[in-house]
């Protein structure tokens, strides 16, 4: 078998990009939904996402610098990617954050025989996240001892009271066409999963912090591996103009496997579909990366090191290409916080796919 064909057309490098971005496309679009389904609130997820663009922006050049100094691009990439696999796998198997259901009191008002007030404590996002989407089918259900009913929170007569021990106390007028002799205790849920929850059980902060750390570390390392993949491409190619032809296979793999994963999820309805497919694709990526041919280049003896100082950095920012790249980097980092409220993982993958594909295509240009 003539192996020179594989070297001439860089099939191994193409396969590396295809497998790596396939794994990227499988896991990346649903990470926020995994956090939400495991009990984290949208506020906690948003706060976790704030730091990601900055960590990616500063860590990737540092890791790239170390890889450049050592010349061990493949080893550095594989080590980082193996840690990423362990991190995301642990994320899926952490225990869920335990929260109480929202407990409410249904009391009768004195103004009318069929008017009642529903009192309960909850966070601000209970009202903003669900009620703002009532036109899309989001509503609240109250399950009481002797009756159940559905209500919304769009009425201007709703009163709010800020309390230290429970967040916000809501007073919601409810019209019921029956006369209740006594007050009722009710349980409130939302029609969109994971939007409504009451107070946390004890010692849940540790679990929330563990989710945040694993998510931040794993996502940052995944993005760093992405940058190292570009270094591997430039180090193995004889001409940098060939890079785009190899890297485009990553975009193809991202789109194909993000779609395939969503289809398989719709069949099994289990989030473990994503982590299993991610681990398989990632292990194959690590294996194929070991065989990428990289020519070790030695520096001439008279080659002088270029000193990097503040003026050098300032001059870089004056370059239009650098400015465009940094702008894309920050915008791409914002995709980590996609918070579209949907009912399943498959719809999230399809809704956010265009966003990720845009930036996936944009990065090789610069």
pLDDT per position as a tens digit, 30-39: 998 888 888 8
pLDDT recorded at residue 348: 45
Residues of the chain with pLDDT under 50: 1-2, 298-303, 336-366
pLDDT recorded at residue 132: 57
pLDDT recorded at residue 247: 85
pLDDT recorded at residue 24: 92
pLDDT recorded at residue 350: 46
Phi, psi values for residue 121, rounded to 5°: -105, 135
Sheet holding 167-175, edge to edge: 148-151, 140-144, 184-190, 102-108, 115-122, 167-175, 159-163
pLDDT recorded at residue 53: 75
* CA 353 vs CA 25, 28, 45, 224, 262: distances in Å: 8, 10, 20, 20, 11
Nearest residue to 133 (alpha-carbon basis) of 105, 158, 152, 112: 152
Domains and CATH numbers, the chain: 4-96+203-295+311-365 (1.20.1250), 102-190 (2.40.30)
Nearest residue to 343 (alpha-carbon basis) of 211, 197, 198, 194: 194
Q: Which residues contact 102 (CB under 8 A, 6 or more apart)?
A: 120, 121, 122, 126, 187, 188, 189, 196, 197, 198
pTM (predicted TM-score): 0.70
H-only helix segments in the chain: 4-8, 11-27, 31-37, 42-50, 52-70, 73-93, 124-131, 205-236, 243-268, 272-289, 310-317, 320-334, 345-365
């Amino acid at each position: 078998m003539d192996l020179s064909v594989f070297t001439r057309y860089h099939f191994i490098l193409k396969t590396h990009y295809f497998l790596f971005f396939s794994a990227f496309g499988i896991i990346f679009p649903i990470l926020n939904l995994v956090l939400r389904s495991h009990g984290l609130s949208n506020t906690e997820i948003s706060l976790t996402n704030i730091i990601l663009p900055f960590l990616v922006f500063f860590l990737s050049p540092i890791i790239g610098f170390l890889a450049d100094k050592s010349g061990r691009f493949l080893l550095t990439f594989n080590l980082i990617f193996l840690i990423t696999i362990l991190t995301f796998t642990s994320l899926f198997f952490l225990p869920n954050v335990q929260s109480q259901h929202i407990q409410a009191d249904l009391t009768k008002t004195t103004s009318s025989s069929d008017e009642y007030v529903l009192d309960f404590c909850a966070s601000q996002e209970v009202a903003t996240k669900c009620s703002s989407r009532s036109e899309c089918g989001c509503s609240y259900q109250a399950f009481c001892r002797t009756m159940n009913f559905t209500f919304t929170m769009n009425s201007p007569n709703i009163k709010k009271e800020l309390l230290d021990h429970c967040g916000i106390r809501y007073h919601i007028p409810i019209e019921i066409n029956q006369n209740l002799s006594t007050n009722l205790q009710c349980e409130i849920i939302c029609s969109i999963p994971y939007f409504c929850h009451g107070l946390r059980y004890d010692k849940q902060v540790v679990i929330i912090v563990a989710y945040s750390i694993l998510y931040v570390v794993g996502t940052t390392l995944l993005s760093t591996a992405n940058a190292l993949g570009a270094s591997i491409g430039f180090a193995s190619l004889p001409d940098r103009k060939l890079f785009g032809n190899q890297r485009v296979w990553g975009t193809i793999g991202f789109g194909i496997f993000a779609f395939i994963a969503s289809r398989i999820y719709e069949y099994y309805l289990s989030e473990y579909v994503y982590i299993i497919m991610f681990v398989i694709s990632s292990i194959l990526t690590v294996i194929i990366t070991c065989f990428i041919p990289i020519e070790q280049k030695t520096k001439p003896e008279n080659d002088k090191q270029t000193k990097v100082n503040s003026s050098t950095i300032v001059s870089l920012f004056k370059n239009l290409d650098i400015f465009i790249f940094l702008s894309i980097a920050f915008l791409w980092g914002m995709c980590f916080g996609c918070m579209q409220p949907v009912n399943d993982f498959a719809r999230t993958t399809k809704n956010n796919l265009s966003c990720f594909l845009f930036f996936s295509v944009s990065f090789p240009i610069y």
